[in-house]
Amino acid sequence: MLLVANWKAYVDDLARARELFSLAKRLVRKESGVRVVLAPPAPFLSALASGNTSSVLFAAQDISATTGGAQTGEVIAGAYASAGAAYAIIGHSERRAQGDTNAIVAEKLSRSLAQGLLPILCIGEHERDSDGHYLAGVREQLTTAFAPLTLKERKKIIVAYEPLWAINKSADQSIRPSDLTEMVLYLRKVLGEFLPGKGASHVLVLYGGSVEPGNERGLAASSQIDGFLVGHASVDSTTFAQLVRELA
Ligand code: PGA
């Protein structure tokens, strides 16, 4: 199982970032079967990743859609790769809320792949309706992301299903395991249009949205997912340790 810890803007202190990284290293040493990826705020990435010999890897929380140059404030994929990131979260709903359209997400995917960063593509509906219209939006997010890519590139994408209504809440307001199972089947069906043969079944699919120690096991057991993208529960040492142990 893969556990991606999205620290968002919760951590503003390098000492705290180092503590969480040390904890992650201790946990992965003890608990086999769990791979941990940390997505720290950009300024901490290099300090944490340089000289890292552990199996804990790093992700950018976002990358610039630009190719660099005269772009004040933009951090391009190559800079993240050089600072030690192996993955990049692309299209998180909190970035989409700041203007990332499906077209921008597609640009970011290709920038990320061009620099050797494995993209973690976030998709998910704002809300659900009883007629299943929300599925069309999710399909659109997937198809606009996958269609421009080569087959080789498509195989590198990790899909993180994160329904917006479940993000930043608590375990009891998160998705039900049966609903997640259904969604994962749907996602793999759509992915089948872009990846022939058994290709779609090899894509790593993560779930994110109020994963906490209270619901993680149930979701992992019943929904054919390959791991989790965790926000708030990943920046608390106690809950983060519980999350890793439960997955082991
Ligand atoms: P949450 O965030 O675990 O705090 O709900 C998940 C995410 O937004 O990636």
**pLDDT 10s digits, 190-205:** 999 999 999 999 999 9
Atom 1 in ligand 1: residue holding the nearest Cα: 231
This prediction has a pTM of 0.98
Give the whole-angstrom CA distance, residue 202 versus residue 110.
20
Give the whole-angstrom CA distance, residue 120 versus residue 112.
10
The predicted pLDDT at position 208 comes to 98
The predicted pLDDT at position 32 comes to 84
Q: Are 75 and 63 in contact (CB under 8 A)?
A: yes
Q: Is the pLDDT of residue 17 over 90?
A: yes
Condensed to tens digits (0 to 9), the pLDDT of residues 32-71 reads 899 999 999 999 999 999 999 999 999 999 999 999 999 9
Q: What is the mean pLDDT of the segment spanning 227-241? A: 98
Catalytic residues: 92, 162
Pairing of strands 87-90, 57-60: parallel
Q: Please tell me the distance between residue 20's alpha carbon and the centre of ligand 1 in angstroms.
A: 17
Q: Where are the alpha helices (DSSP H) in 75-205?
A: 77-83, 93-96, 102-114, 134-146, 151-154, 177-191, 199-202
Give the whole-angstrom CA distance, residue 235 versus residue 16.
9
Condensed to tens digits (0 to 9), the pLDDT of residues 69-128 reads 999 999 999 999 999 999 999 999 999 999 999 999 999 999 999 999 999 999 999 999
Give the whole-angstrom CA distance, residue 207 versus residue 212.
12
Q: Please tell me the distance between residue 84's alpha carbon and the centre of ligand 1 in angstroms.
A: 23
What proportion of the chain, given as a percentage, has pLDDT over 90?
97
140 to 144, 155, 241: CA distances (angstroms): 6, 18, 36
Q: Name residues whose C-beta falls within 8 Å of residue 68's C-beta, 6 or more positions apart in sequence.
A: 74, 76, 78
Which of 232, 234, 242, 243 most suits a substitution to test ligand 1, by most atoms within 8 Å of the C-beta? Answer: 232
The predicted pLDDT at position 182 comes to 96
The predicted pLDDT at position 137 comes to 97
| pLDDT band at residue 31 using 50, 70 and 90 as cut-offs | confident
Residues pairing with 60 in the sheet? 88
Q: Where are the alpha helices (DSSP H) in 12-101?
A: 14-30, 42-49, 77-83, 93-96
